[in-house]
Amino acid sequence: MIRNEFVYELDINLDLDYITKLVLKKQDETVKVEPVWPDIWIANRDRLVKGKTGEHRSALDDPYMTSIQQKYPLLSPVYNIYIVPAKIGIPLHMDKIRSCALNIPIQGTEGTYTIFYDSLKSPAIEKFRHTLIRPLLINNGPKPHEVTNNKDTMRITLNWSLNKGVTYEQAIEHFK
């Protein structure tokens, strides 16, 4: 398992089949697909968390997701579903509101990468590259990163923020 300053692969008991079916079911219920920013398409406008953008879902809407949030109370009550279409990526950025998150692969993550850099300024130097194949904590706040998907299939992940103020190091201790 990988454990470094960028990602911490977890050895926790999650029903990944259930989570995958839940996420894919929500995608099948899509009424309309809209671009949120040029490189990401988000669906399910009819099932949004009030006041949140298209990718947000409430853990309280599902008993199993609620049980995970209760077992790991550092997790926010809101999780995100990120859909990255084929041949599209998420551009280089830094997350401003959060310092880390729980990432769970749903579909099409093999052969895609989250790439961390030393800065947002060109030329940015690559520091670490990772393929999401198991649940992990990602140190995404202070770390410039991008997601690449050069495949012919979409990439779907569940990304669950930790409560505001929780550091990557605190999250690691909590999930041990």
Q: What is the pLDDT of residue 26?
A: 65
Identify the CATH number of the domain defined by range 7-175. 2.60.120.10
Q: What is the pLDDT of residue 88?
A: 87
Cα–Cα nearest to 81, from 29, 123, 120, 128: 29
- Which residues neighbour 91 within 8 Å (Cβ) at sequence distance 6 or greater? 39, 146
The Cα–Cα gap between 152 and 96 comes to: 30
What is the number of other CB atoms lying within 10 angstroms of the CB of residue 141? 18
What is the number of other CB atoms lying within 10 angstroms of the CB of residue 90? 17
The Cα–Cα gap between 27 and 156 comes to: 10
Q: What is the pLDDT of residue 29?
A: 54
Q: What is the pLDDT of residue 24?
A: 87
Domain residue ranges of the chain, discontinuous segments joined by +: 7-175
What is the chain's pLDDT, residue by residue, as a tens digit (176 residues)? 899 999 999 999 999 999 999 998 866 554 333 434 333 333 333 333 333 445 788 899 999 999 999 999 999 999 989 888 889 888 888 887 888 999 999 999 999 999 999 998 889 999 999 999 999 999 987 889 999 999 999 999 999 999 988 999 999 999 98
* Contact (CB, 8 A) for 155 and 22: no
Checking phi first, is residue 78 left (phi over 0); if not, alpha (psi -120 to 50) or beta?
A: beta
SS3 content of the chain, % helix, strand, coil (to 5): 20, 35, 45
